[in-house]
A and B are shown apart, each in its own frame.
Chain A
Amino acid sequence: AQSVTQLDSQVPVFEEAPVELRCNYSSSVSVYLFWYVQYPNQGLQLLLKYLSGSTLVKGINGFEAEFNKSQTSFHLRKPSVHISDTAEYFCAVQYGNTGFQKLVFGTGTRLLVSP
């Protein structure tokens, strides 16, 4: 079955420190990868997505992610976090050319940034 794994349910980090949020997915020939962010009491907002081309993808708010096909991973990184980055982050995978409705979400990682 297609699945997306976010091993860390919560990641505490100090302000201005780097952070990596991990995402692994079950292997498939064709995947499109997404990271969404959810701030408290808000809906989900797209951070970045990988469709093809360069494996390093840059998104909003200084985030970037790297697609690693051999390791079936799409980890999210930021070199220096801010308090305002405190939120829940969801990795999602679209398998094949099926459109958004077949997006599979991970369980989310809560990023807690403290001063």
Chain B
Amino acid sequence: ETGVTQTPRHLVMGMTNKKSLKCEQHLGHNAMYWYKQSAKKPLELMFVYNFKEQTENNSVPSRFSPECPNSSHLFLHLHTLQPEDSALYLCASSQDRVRGSEAFFGQGTRLTVV
């Protein structure tokens, strides 16, 4: 248990569905992140939130829509996804702008788009 909880752990959705991934941390961190992990590829940073403000969006398609209502919660809203979006989606949190700060990761949501 890392202090970062992601739900659901597994999700299968059709291309026309709308679903949301949830991430929650109670570590007192001020930054939260969404990563995409696909087979044979490096971890891809998708979004960064610092004090609830989005500070980075790494050219992510608009079918992925993040939401950060407070410093402890982060959502990833999904709609009209493609099969190539199937991957493990990881949430992480850290105390940003701290030298050598490490991140704590959730267990991930395994997403399958059919």
| A→B interface (CB under 8 Å) | 32, 34, 36, 41-46, 49, 51, 90, 94, 97-101, 103, 105-108
Contacts and interface: CB of A to CB of B under 8 A. Distances in A.
Contact of A100 (B4, B96, B107): B96
A101 B90 contact: no
Contact of A103 (B6, B103, B110): B103
Interface string B41-57: 11101001010000110
Contact of B103 (A42, A97, A100): A100
Q: How large is the interface on B (under 10, 10 to 19, 20 to 34, 35 or more residues)?
A: 20 to 34
A32 B42 contact: no
Given A49-B100, A101-B96, A43 B31 contact: no
Contacts of A51: 99-100
- Most B CB within 10 A of own CB, among A34, A44, A94: A44
Given A34-B102, A99-B98, A101-B48, A43 B2 contact: yes
Contacts, number: 66
Interface in B43-84: 43, 45, 48, 50, 55-56
Nearest to B9: A41
Contacts of B92: 43-44, 100
B111 to A, nearest CB: 13
B2 to A, nearest CB: 7
Contact of B99 (A32, A45, A90, A107): A32
A27 to B, nearest CB: 18
In order of increasing CB-CB distance, the 4 nearest A-B pairs are A43-B105, A100-B94, A51-B100, A44-B105
